C-alpha cells in the first residue's frame, strides 16, 4: 500500500495537480459563459432589430385595428383577439383532459402491456410535427364534424390535440416526483385512493403540471402550420366576436404580412412580432408566478 | 385492565390474559413479492393494553409483516398475502372489510417521519376531517390539541400551529406523525422503527410516549434497538429470514430464549 505517497499534500506534484484542477474549472466556466453569451446575442439581435423596425409601427391604432388591405390601416387587434380565444379553447380542453389522463395513468391504471402501449403512443404524439395535427384537425373537425372554418374553436381544438401529450408527459413527471412517503402517510390515516390523489398528490404536483402546461401553451401560441391547414389564413378584417367567428391569429398574421409586396408591411410585421413576444413573455411570467405561488417543499 | 396497572413493561408476573381474545391475530401469514417468499407463515396475537415488539436482522420481514396488519401491502403491485389476519375476530382481507376503515382503525407510524407539507394543525386535523370525526371547527381544534398533547408535542408547537409540519426537527416531526395517527382514534398503532432517524433524547421522548399510549391502544413496534425492545414492550417476536422464530414475553426472550438463533441475535452474534 502506498498510503504514504498520497498523504504528501504539500509537495510540488500536488501543487501542480491543484493548479490543473483550477485551470479546468476556469475553462469550463469560460465555455459555459460563451454558450450563454451566444444565445443571448441572438436573442438581443432579434429584439433589437424587431424593436428598431417595429417600434414605429406600434400605436394605439395598430393595437385596435384589424387587418386591412392598406398597410396604413392594418392593425393587430383581430389577430390578437383570435390568438387569445384560440389559446383559451386550447387551455379549456387540453388542461383538464391532459391532467386527468396523467393522473389516471400514474395513479390508477394497472401496469400492463396496454398502458405501456399508451405511454409509447403519447410520447410519440408529443414528437409528431404540428402540420400533421393540422391535417388531423382538417379531417376531423371540418370535414367530419363540420365545425366552422377559420374559427378559434377549431384552431383551439387542433392545438389542444397537439398540446395534450405535452401536458400528459409533464403531468406524469410531476406526479412521479411526489414522494411515495406522502401517499403512505395519507393512506395510513385511512384516506381513500381518491382522497390521496386529490388532497395530496395533485396539489403537490400542480406547480410542475402548470409549468409544463404553460410551456405547451406558449408553443401552441406560436404555432402557424396547423392553423393554416384549418383555414385560419383568410383575410379577415373584423375581429372575431366569439369562438365560432372566422379569425386570424398572431403568428399567421405575421406570416401573411411578411409575404406582402408592399414595403409598408415590413414595419407592421415587426410590430406584430413585438406584440407576440410580449404576449409570450406575459404567459411565461404567469407560469413563473403560478409555480412560485404553489411551490411547496417537503 | 389489570395489565394497565402494571407499571414496568418487563414485568414477568402477568395475569393469564392469554385466554382473552386478542385484538389482532395473524395465522400462517405468508407474503410473496413476485415469486420470492418474504414471509413464511407467521402466526402472532397482538393484544390490547400491551406493546408487542418485532426484532430481527435487516431484511427478515418485520416491515412486511407490519404492513400486512393494515393492508399497506395492497399498494405494492407485486405483493401477495395469504393466511388470515383478524381484527376483533373479523378477517381484514375479507370483502366485507373496508380497507379505508381498517387503516383508520389500525394506524401506522413510518420509519422516516413523513408529515404532510401542510401546517402542523392540518397534519393532525386531516384524519379526523376525512372521517368526519368533528362536527365543527372547535371540536376539530379540541381533537388536534388533545392529540398533540398525547404525542407530547403540544407545548413545543402550540404557538405555531400554522407553520409547516416539515419545518419541525426530525424528532418533532415523528411525534407529529404519531399525533396524526392517534387523532383518528385508532384501536391499534403500528410503528415501523419510529426512532431510527432520531437522537437519544428524541428517542427517549417517543419511548415515554409509547408508555403513555399503552393501555389505550394495542401497539406493535418494529425496532433494531434491543434495549428499546426490552424497555418498551411486554411481548417480543424474533424474526429471522422470513420466519417468526420465537414469540413470548419480552423478559423471557431477552433473559431466557428457547431458540439458539434468538440467543445468538440478542447477544449480538449476528445481525
Ligand atoms: N416492495 C418490495 N418488493 C420486493 N421485495 C421486497 C419489497 N419490500 C421488501 N422486500 C423484500 O422482502 C424481504 C423483507 O423485507 P422487509 O422490508 O420486510 O424487511 P425488514 O425486516 O423490515 O428489514 P429492515 O430491518 O431492514 O427494515 C427483504 O428480502 C426485501 O428484499
Ligand atoms: Mg423495515
Q: What is the pLDDT of residue A153?
A: 94
Average the pLDDT over A256-284 and give the result: 88
Q: Which residue of B has its CA nearest to A108?
A: B75
What gap in Å lies between CA B142 and CA B149, rounded to an integer?
Answer: 10
Looking at CA atoms only, how far is residue A179 from chain B in angstroms?
10
Q: Could you tell me the three cell numbers for A285?
A: 411570467
A78 neighbors A66 (Cβ within 8 angstroms): yes
Q: What is the pLDDT of residue A60?
A: 84
Q: Of A72-81, A191-200, A225-234, which one has max mean pLDDT?
A: A191-200
What gap in Å lies between CA A123 and CA A105, rounded to an integer?
Answer: 13
Average the pLDDT over A190-197 and give the result: 93
Average the pLDDT over A188-210 and give the result: 92
Among A49-58, A127-136, B79-88, the minimum mean pLDDT is found in A49-58
**Spatial CB neighbours of A219, under 8 Å, sequence gap ≥ 6:** A163, A166
Choose from B100, B111, B144, B165 for mutation: most chain A CBs within 10 A: B100
What gap in Å lies between CA B138 and CA B124, rounded to an integer?
Answer: 14
SS3 string, A185-239, reads HHHHCCCCHHHHHHHHHHHHHHHHHHHHHHHHHHHHHHCCHHHHHCCCCCCCCCC
Q: Of A159-173, A212-226, A280-294, which one has max mean pLDDT?
A: A159-173
pLDDT(A62) > 90? no
Torsion angles phi and psi, residue B14, rounded to 5? -90, 145
| Contact flag A189-B114 (C-beta cutoff 8 Å) | no
Q: What is the pLDDT of residue B15?
A: 43
Give the model's confidence band at B212: pLDDT under 50 very low, under 70 low, under 90 confident, else very high.
Answer: confident
Burial of B152 (0-12, 13-18, 19+ CB in 10 A): middle
Average the pLDDT over A51-78 and give the result: 85
pLDDT(B5) > 60? no
**Distance from the alpha carbon of residue B192 to the mean position of ligand 2, in angstroms:** 7
pLDDT tens digits, A139-156: 999 999 999 988 999 999
Give the model's confidence band at B1: pLDDT under 50 very low, under 70 low, under 90 confident, else very high.
Answer: very low
Average the pLDDT over B173-197 and give the result: 92
More reliable by pLDDT, B4 or B243 = B243
Q: What is the pLDDT of residue A232?
A: 87
Q: What is the pLDDT of residue B19?
A: 59
Question: Within a 10 A sphere around the Cβ of B162, how many other Cβ atoms?
Answer: 10
Across chain A, mean pLDDT equals: 89
Q: State whether residue A54 is helix, strand or coil.
A: helix
Q: Which residue of B has its CA nearest to A192?
A: B100
| Contact flag A184-B177 (C-beta cutoff 8 Å) | no
pLDDT tens digits, A4-42: 555 677 778 888 888 999 999 999 999 999 999 999 999
Q: What is the pLDDT of residue A296?
A: 60
- Residue where the block lists cell 395510513: A188
pLDDT tens digits, B19-73: 577 889 999 999 999 999 999 999 999 998 889 999 999 999 999 999 999 999 9
pLDDT tens digits, A86-142: 999 999 999 999 999 999 999 988 888 998 999 999 999 988 999 999 999 999 999
Topology, domain A60-294: MetI-like fold (1.10.3720)
How many Cα atoms are found within 13 Å in the side-chain-facing hemisphere of B250?
24
Inform me whether the C-beta atom of residue A297 falls under 8 Å from chain B C-beta atoms.
Answer: yes
Q: Which residues of A touch B180 (CB under 8 A)?
A: 185, 189
| Contact flag A298-B177 (C-beta cutoff 8 Å) | no
A200 neighbors A154 (Cβ within 8 angstroms): no
pLDDT(A168) > 80? yes
How many Cα atoms are found within 13 Å in the side-chain-facing hemisphere of B146?
14
pLDDT more than 90, % of chain B? 64
For residue A146, give the DSSP letter: -
pLDDT(A81) > 60? yes
The ranges assigned to domains in chain B are 24-266
Across chain B, mean pLDDT equals: 88
- Residue where the block lists cell 433473559: B255
Q: Could you tell me the three cell numbers for A199?
A: 388532497
A271 neighbors A253 (Cβ within 8 angstroms): no
| Contact flag B180-A185 (C-beta cutoff 8 Å) | yes
Average the pLDDT over B66-85 and give the result: 92
The ranges assigned to domains in chain A are 2-57, 60-294
pLDDT(B12) > 80? no
pLDDT(A1) > 60? no
Average the pLDDT over B134-146 and give the result: 93
Name the CA dihedral angle for B207, B213, B217, B222, rounded to a multiple of 10 degrees.
Answer: -10
Please, where are the H alpha helices in chain B? Answer: 2-5, 62-69, 99-105, 120-130, 137-150, 154-157, 170-183, 200-213, 226-232, 250-255, 260-266
CATH superfamily of B24-266: P-loop containing nucleotide triphosphate hydrolases (3.40.50.300)
Q: Report which of A215, A251, A216, A227 is spatially closest to residue A133, judged by C-alpha positions.
A: A227
Give the model's confidence band at B2: pLDDT under 50 very low, under 70 low, under 90 confident, else very high.
Answer: very low
Q: Which residues of B touch A184 (CB under 8 A)?
A: 72, 75, 108, 110, 114
What gap in Å lies between CA A298 and CA A204, rounded to an integer?
Answer: 9
pLDDT tens digits, B116-135: 999 999 999 999 999 999 88
Q: Could you tell me the three cell numbers for B87?
A: 381484527
pLDDT(A47) > 70? yes
What gap in Å lies between CA B271 and CA B266, rounded to an integer?
Answer: 9
What gap in Å lies between CA B148 and CA B154, rounded to an integer?
Answer: 5
Q: What is the CA radius of gyration of chain B?
A: 18
pLDDT(B4) > 70? no
What gap in Å lies between CA A137 and CA A219, rounded to an integer?
Answer: 17
Q: Could you tell me the three cell numbers for B263?
A: 440467543
**Spatial CB neighbours of B109, under 8 Å, sequence gap ≥ 6:** A188, B174, B177, B178, B181, B189, B190, B191, B192, B194
Torsion angles phi and psi, residue B228, rounded to 5? -65, -45
pLDDT(B16) > 70? no
Q: What is the pLDDT of residue A4?
A: 57
Inform me whether the C-beta atom of residue A183 falls under 8 Å from chain B C-beta atoms.
Answer: yes
Amino acid at each position: 500500500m502506498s498510503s504514504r505517497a498520497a498523504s504528501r499534500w504539500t509537495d510540488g506534484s500536488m501543487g501542480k495537480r491543484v493548479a490543473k484542477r483550477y485551470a479546468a474549472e476556469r475553462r469550463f466556466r469560460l465555455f459555459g459563459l460563451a454558450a450563454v453569451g451566444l444565445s443571448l446575442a441572438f436573442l438581443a439581435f432579434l429584439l433589437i432589430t424587431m424593436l428598431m423596425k417595429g417600434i414605429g409601427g406600434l400605436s394605439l391604432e395598430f393595437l385596435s385595428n384589424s387587418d386591412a388591405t392598406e398597410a396604413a390601416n392594418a392593425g393587430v387587434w383581430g389577430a390578437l383577439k383570435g390568438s387569445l380565444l384560440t389559446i383559451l379553447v386550447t387551455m379549456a380542453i387540453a388542461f383538464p383532459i391532459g391532467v386527468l389522463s396523467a393522473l389516471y395513468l400514474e395513479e390508477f391504471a394497472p401496469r400492463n402491456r396496454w398502458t405501456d402501449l399508451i405511454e409509447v403512443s403519447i410520447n410519440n404524439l408529443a414528437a409528431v410535427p404540428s402540420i400533421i395535427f393540422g391535417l388531423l384537425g382538417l379531417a376531423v373537425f371540418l370535414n367530419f364534424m363540420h365545425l366552422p372554418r377559420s374559427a378559434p374553436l377549431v384552431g383551439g381544438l387542433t392545438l389542444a390535440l397537439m398540446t395534450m401529450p405535452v401536458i400528459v408527459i409533464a403531468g406524469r413527471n410531476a406526479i412521479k416526483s411526489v414522494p411515495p412517503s406522502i401517499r403512505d402517510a395519507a393512506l395510513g390515516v385511512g384516506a381513500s385512493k381518491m382522497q390521496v390523489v386529490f388532497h395530496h398528490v395533485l396539489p403537490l404536483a400542480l406547480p410542475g403540471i402548470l409549468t409544463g402546461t404553460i410551456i405547451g401553451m406558449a408553443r401552441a401560441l406560436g404555432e402557424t402550420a396547423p392553423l393554416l391547414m384549418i383555414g385560419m389564413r383568410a383575410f379577415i378584417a373584423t375581429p372575431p366576436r366569439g369562438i365560432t367567428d372566422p379569425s386570424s391569429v398572431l403568428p399567421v398574421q405575421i406570416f401573411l404580412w411578411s409575404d406582402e409586396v408592399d414595403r409598408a408591411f415590413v414595419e407592421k410585421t415587426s410590430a406584430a412580432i413585438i406584440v407576440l413576444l410580449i404576449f409570450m413573455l406575459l404567459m411565461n411570467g404567469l407560469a413563473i408566478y403560478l409555480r412560485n405561488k404553489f411551490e411547496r417543499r417537503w | 385492565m389489570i395489565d394497565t396497572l402494571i407499571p414496568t413493561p418487563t414485568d414477568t408476573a402477568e395475569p393469564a390474559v392469554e385466554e382473552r381474545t386478542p385484538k389482532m391475530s395473524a395465522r400462517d401469514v405468508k407474503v410473496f413479492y413476485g415469486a420470492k417468499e418474504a414471509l413464511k407463515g407467521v402466526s402472532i396475537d397482538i393484544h390490547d393494553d400491551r406493546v408487542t415488539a418485532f426484532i430481527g436482522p435487516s431484511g427478515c420481514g418485520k416491515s412486511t409483516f407490519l404492513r400486512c396488519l393494515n393492508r399497506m401491502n395492497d399498494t405494492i403491485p407485486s405483493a401477495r398475502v395469504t393466511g388470515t389476519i383478524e381484527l376483533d375476530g373479523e378477517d381484514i382481507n375479507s370483502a366485507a372489510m373496508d380497507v379505508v376503515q381498517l387503516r383508520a382503525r389500525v394506524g401506522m407510524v413510518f420509519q422516516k417521519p413523513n408529515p404532510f407539507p401542510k401546517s402542523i394543525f392540518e397534519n393532525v386535523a386531516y384524519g379526523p376531517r376525512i372521517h368526519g370525526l368533528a362536527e365543527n371547527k372547535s371540536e376539530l381544534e379540541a381533537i388536534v390539541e388533545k392529540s398533540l398533547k398525547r404525542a407530547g408535542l403540544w407545548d413545543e408547537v402550540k404557538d405555531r400551529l400554522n407553520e409547516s409540519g416539515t419545518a419541525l426537527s426530525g424528532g418533532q416531526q415523528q411525534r407529529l406523525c404519531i399525533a396524526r395517527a392517534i387523532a383518528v382514534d385508532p384501536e391499534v398503532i403500528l410503528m415501523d422503527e419510529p426512532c431510527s432517524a432520531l437522537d437519544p433524547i428524541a428517542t427517549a421522548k417517543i419511548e415515554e410516549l409509547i408508555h403513555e399510549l399503552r393501555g389505550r391502544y394495542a401497539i406493535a413496534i418494529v425496532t433494531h434497538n434491543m434495549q428499546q425492545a426490552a424497555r418498551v414492550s411486554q411481548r417480543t417476536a424474533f424474526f429471522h429470514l422470513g420466519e417468526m422464530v420465537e414469540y413470548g414475553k419480552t423478559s423471557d426472550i431477552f433473559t431466557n430464549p428457547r431458540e439458539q438463533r434468538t440467543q445468538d441475535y440478542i447477544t449480538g452474534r449476528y445481525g
